[in-house]
Amino acid sequence: MVKISGGDGSSLEKAIIISDCNDLEGVDQEYLIMHNMFGKFQLIEQRLIKHKGKLYDQLIIEVENEIIEIFFDITDFFGKY
């Protein structure tokens, strides 16, 4: 079962941690979390960030004409199929 922990996703230090899953489940959770947080959004850009031995997804989205960055710690599931 997918585990969600960590912070609110507003920075690397407060990244939302997704674990106990594979790549497909983890990415699905990222989009589900963003939908639950923001409702309708448009993905502008997605970046993979390596920082202090961990892997993060940085998603830049637009919500009602506002640009928002959200960070997910994907270290646990990245590359697992």
Residue extents of the structural domains in the chain:
3-73
Q: Which pTM was predicted?
A: 0.94
Q: Write the CB contacts of 27 (distance below 8 Å, at least 6 apart in sequence).
A: none
Token couple for 78: 């990245």
- Going by pLDDT thresholds of 50, 70 and 90, the confidence category of residue 72 is very high
pLDDT range class, residue 1, cuts 50, 70, 90: confident
What is the mean predicted confidence (pLDDT) over 6-17? 97
pLDDT at residue 81 in the model: 82
The model's pLDDT over 16-54, given as tens digits with 9 standing for 90+, comes to 999 999 999 999 999 999 999 999 999 999 999 999 999
Number of helical H runs and strand E runs in the chain: 1, 5
State the Cα torsion 52-25-80-46 to the nearest 10°: -50
